[in-house]
Amino acid sequence: MDQQTQDTQSTQSTQDIQSTQDTQDTSSNEKVKVDEILLKEILEIIRPSLIADGGDMEYVSVDDDGVVTLRLTGACSGCPMSSLTLSMGIERILREHVPGVTRVQAEM
């Protein structure tokens, strides 16, 4: 995916996310239970960016520590950039918009 396409899709995804996000007041010292419904809604907003590049992802789980596990499929499953996509893309968006998410990992 070229940088311009990625930036455009990222901007659109961020706008979509902001329109679906509920504002929640949370203390940084409290462990917050992740709202799985919100998490899944945000993932559905992100998916078209991956699909446009030949990949996809499936939600697997979120644990009590806020670690989200995803299954990468299609072109994403063998792509050397998938770890960067997870950390700099998906994880950044989820941590910003879903209270309680601490990390995103690929299913092994």
pLDDT tens column, 42-81: 999 999 999 999 999 999 999 999 999 999 999 988 888 8
71 HSE (CA, 13 A, CB side) = 6
The pLDDT value recorded for residue 29 is 59
The pLDDT value recorded for residue 26 is 47
Percent of the chain with pLDDT over 90: 56
Separation of alpha carbons 89 and 11, rounded Å? 12
34-104 adopts what CATH topology? GMP Synthetase; Chain A, domain 3 (3.30.300)
Q: Is the pLDDT score of 24 beyond 60?
A: no
Q: What's the whole-model pTM score?
A: 0.72
Mean pLDDT score across all residues of the chain? 83
